[in-house]
């Protein structure tokens, strides 16, 4: 391969905004450049799978872009100073590596090692499999982009989570449910897209951060999408699967549980009916004939009006096991979502609690699901709010595979108009101690399978990409996509480490840019919380659209509000003694903390307790004064974000700068609206003046 390769030419026509963190900027002419040119001048990829072809293409593009070389070509194995292969194809002992070293990493792990033989320096990137080689290559390229030394490398690395999944909520008409970055890159006008180059670039982005699975359609499967598992679409979907296969990703499809009826073949979808069982087995065989490595099905059933086993007086285990049996012989997986609740329940009934639904539905079924079923559980018991406690299902299911579900798309968190870096939030979830098997039973130990020895487990998330030029609407929202992949690969990475990586890869190594953007990212979650819904109450947002304040807003409006504010106070009583009893779903240590008004952390106070406006927080502020103060503070903090960003003009590509500045202007308008509506509402409810004398009405 040389620089005349069409792939390289295409790469240089792409904008920095489009290339995201795979910009591969020119390395500055310093001592590090000479070090890189010595090692990277001659590379050899020893392997002939589709994944090794992808590695060759990525190296060709990256090394040419970064190295100042007029020509980049793969050399012979004998002449190579950068060797990429797997542990079966290279005599590791020739390079001072004991083959037994690879017994400590899993199938997707890799070794990066510098080797000096007296005549020349060599870097080895050795995967346990070709997937490991791919991930090792991207890790090595991150080192180059970060200007790190590669003279004495010895990196042994593998992912902590087996399942690392992306959920697209794309519809076949090209729309995206909860999408804020343009239209779908997979579908348009009830057809599969013809722009497979963009699909390939997305596969590159996902592989570069270690994502290994993707479902490409919305969990709400409508009429046309039900046909994705038929001959009408399956061959074109197989083409997309082939693109992802070359980058180590398995393709899944969201399916309609009522497909046997909707496709006109049967009169029932009863999971215990023999004809239904045979129908799904035949359907699975048809799919695997076209997509041999098909990952399996993602299912949303019996929630928000979607069909499921409840229609036949069956339970979730019956429904999931029906599909699991159909996929089992092919190695397929059923991902069964636990976002299940009665959306028509009367929220005005103080004993009714949507937060309890997932636990109540699935805890009694623990141990009744087949081994190739995974229950997908949202990080919190409600719906991706700015602050909510960890779902009590984590730790409660001891005999059932689980994946944790995050949302990268900022549905309730500013919709990629407002800046909100989500990795700090996700870190809190992963580090949360459930006490399921005593102290140290963290969520990350549950979802990586180590606490209960799950066969298959991991983390999934709702994607935030669309066909906008920069993929994520707001350029800074790319940090959430990048951060998700890096965090689920290694949950022990800090939010700060991940943010620094992304800033460097995206904007280069200018110290001032790194300092300012890092500060903006790390402060942004707290800022968004300040001007929206602090103290854990959540919601107060426009129903259905989910952007902008609507203090009494509720999705199903006739059932009241989420916050139960009256003239005396606000918050939801979820205690055992006087409330909904939700706190009883936690293990004893957390139950006692959350159930106690005095011990409950302030950030969750209104999620667990209904308190007077004059209740004094641990900070010394009253609840009402905290609301006034935080909303005024949040607006000023957004102004500070704008000042920081404006100071960086001229230090990045103009399109990137103007895109973010435009979004920050929208965020300031949004923050002011939240401040004014929320403060006015609670002043009128409580009749309590702001002690600082600010105008709030």
- Residues with Cβ within 8 Å of residue 423, at least 6 apart in sequence: 479, 480, 483, 484, 487, 495, 498, 499
Q: Which of 353, 383, 468, 501 is catalytic?
A: 383
Q: Can you give 493-525 as a three-state secondary structure string?
A: CCHHHHHHHHHHHHHCCCHHHHHHHHHHHHHHH
Other CB atoms within 10 Å distance of the CB of residue 650 = 7
Distance CA 49, CA 46 (A): 10
Give which of 351, 498, 358, 363 is closest to 422, Cα–Cα: 498
Cβ neighbours of 70 (radius 10 Å): 8
Alpha-carbon gap, residue 299 to 284, rounded angstroms = 15
Q: What are the structure tokens assigned to 147, written together?
A: 């200007």
Of 430, 450, 258, 455, nearest in space to 374 by CA: 455
383 labelled catalytic: yes
* 411 part of the active site: yes
Contacts of 610 (CB under 8 A, 6+ apart): 564, 569, 570, 571, 572, 573, 579
* Extended strands (E) in 558-623: 569-570, 611-612
Distance CA 111, CA 143 (A): 14
Cβ atoms of 450 and 391 within 8 Å: the answer is no
441, 451 Cβ separation under 8 angstroms:
yes
HSE-up (13 A, CA, CB side) for residue 621: 14
Whole-angstrom Cα distance, residue 233 to residue 246?
A: 21
What does the block give as tokens for 660? Answer: 């973010």
From 88, 177, 273, 304, active-site residue: 304
- Let me know the angle formed at the C-alpha of 647 by 643 and 650, rounded to the nearest 5 degrees: 140
Q: How distant, in Å, are the alpha carbons of 8, 64, 136 from that of 59?
A: 10, 8, 12
What's the CA gap between 388 and 371, in Å, rounded?
30
Tokens of 113: 């090692």
**Alpha carbon of residue 459 to chain centroid:** 8
Q: Establish whether 304 is a catalytic residue.
A: yes
Give the integer Cα–Cα distance in Å for 4 and 8. 7
Task: Collect all residues with Cβ–Cβ distance below 8 Å to 197 and sequence separation of at least 6.
Answer: 10
CA dihedral in degrees (676, 679, 685, 688; nearest 10)?
-130
Rg of the chain over all Cα atoms, to the nearest angstrom:
26
Can you read off the two tokens belonging to residue 418? 């407002």
Of residues 405, 411, 448, 529, which has the active-site annotation?
Answer: 411
The residues near 95 (Cβ < 8 Å, ≥ 6 apart) are 113, 115, 122, 124
Residue 696 to residues 428, 689, 691, Cα–Cα distance (Å): 33, 9, 11
- d(Cα 353, Cα 581) in Å, to the nearest integer? 9
Which residues are the active-site residues?
304, 383, 411
């Amino acid at each position: 391969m040389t620089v005349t390769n069409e792939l390289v030419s295409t790469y240089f026509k792409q904008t920095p905004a489009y290339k995201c963190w795979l910009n591969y900027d020119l390395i500055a002419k310093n001592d590090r450049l000479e070090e890189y040119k010595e090692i990277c001048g001659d590379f050899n990829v020893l392997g002939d799978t589709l994944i090794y072809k992808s590695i060759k293409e990525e190296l060709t593009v990256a090394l040419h872009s970064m190295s100042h070389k007029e020509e980049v070509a793969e050399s012979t194995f004998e002449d190579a100073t950068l060797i990429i292969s797997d542990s079966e194809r290279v005599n590791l002992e020739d390079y001072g590596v004991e083959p037994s070293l690879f017994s400590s990493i899993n199938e997707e792990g890799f070794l990066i090692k510098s080797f000096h033989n007296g005549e020349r320096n060599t870097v080895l990137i050795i995967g346990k499999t070709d997937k490991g080689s791919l991930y090792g290559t991207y890790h090595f390229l991150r080192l180059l982009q970060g200007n790190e030394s590669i003279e004495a490398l010895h990196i042994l690395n593998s992912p902590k989570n087996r399942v690392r999944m992306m959920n697209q909520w794309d519809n076949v008409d090209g729309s995206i449910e909860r999408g804020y970055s343009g239209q779908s890159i997979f579908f348009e006008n009830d057809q599969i897209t013809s722009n497979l180059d963009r699909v390939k670039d997305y596969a590159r982005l996902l592989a570069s951060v270690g994502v290994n699975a993707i479902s490409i359609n919305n969990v709400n499967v409508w009429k046309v999408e039900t046909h994705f598992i038929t001959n009408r679409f399956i061959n074109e979907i197989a083409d997309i699967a082939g693109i992802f296969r070359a980058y180590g990703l398995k393709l899944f499809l969201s399916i309609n549980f009522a497909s046997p009826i909707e496709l006109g073949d049967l009169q029932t979808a009863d999971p215990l009916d023999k004809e239904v069982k045979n129908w799904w087995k035949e359907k699975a065989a048809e799919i695997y004939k076209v997509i041999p490595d098909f990952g399996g099905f993602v299912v949303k059933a019996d929630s928000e009006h979607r069909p499921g086993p409840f229609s036949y007086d069956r339970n979730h285990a019956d429904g999931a096991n029906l599909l699991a049996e159909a996929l089992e012989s092919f190695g397929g997986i059923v991902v069964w979502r636990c976002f299940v609740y009665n959306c028509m329940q009367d929220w005005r009934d103080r004993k009714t609690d949507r937060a309890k639904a997932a636990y109540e539905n699935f805890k009694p079924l623990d141990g009744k699901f087949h081994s190739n079923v995974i229950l997908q559980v949202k990080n919190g018991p409600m719906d991706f709010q700015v602050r909510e406690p960890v779902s009590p299902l984590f730790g409660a299911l001891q005999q059932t595979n689980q994946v944790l579900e995050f949302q990268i798309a900022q549905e309730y968190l500013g919709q990629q108009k407002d800046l909100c870096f989500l990795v700090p939030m996700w870190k809190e979830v992963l580090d949360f101690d459930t006490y399921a098997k005593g102290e140290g039973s963290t969520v990350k130990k549950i979802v990586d399978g180590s606490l209960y020895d799950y066969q298959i487990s991991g983390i999934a998330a709702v994607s935030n990409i669309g066909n906008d030029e920069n993929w994520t609407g707001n350029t800074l929202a790319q940090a959430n996509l990048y951060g998700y992949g890096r965090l689920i690969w290694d949950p022990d990475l800090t939010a700060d480490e991940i943010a620094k990586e992304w800033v460097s890869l995206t904007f280069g190594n200018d110290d001032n840019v790194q300092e300012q953007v890092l500060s903006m990212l790390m402060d942004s979650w707290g800022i968004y919380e300040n001007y929206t819904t602090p103290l854990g109450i959540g919601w107060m947002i426009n129903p259905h659209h989910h952007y902008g304040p609507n203090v009494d807003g509720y999705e199903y409006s006739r059932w009241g509000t989420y916050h139960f504010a009256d003239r005396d106070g606000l918050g939801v009583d979820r205690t055992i003694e006087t409330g909904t009893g939700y706190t009883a779903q936690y293990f004893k240590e957390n139950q006692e903390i959350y159930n106690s008004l005095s011990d409950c952390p302030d950030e969750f106070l209104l999620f667990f307790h209904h308190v007077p406006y004059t209740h004094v927080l641990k900070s010394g502020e009253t609840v009402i004064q905290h609301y006034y103060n935080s909303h005024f503070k949040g607006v000023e903090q957004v102004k500070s974000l704008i000042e920081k960003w404006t100071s960086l003009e001229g230090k990045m590509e103009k399109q990137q700068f103007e895109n973010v500045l435009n979004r920050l202007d929208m965020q300031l308008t949004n923050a002011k609206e939240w401040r004014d509506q929320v403060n006015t509402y609670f002043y009128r409810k409580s009749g309590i003046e702001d002690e600082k004398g600010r105008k709030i009405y």
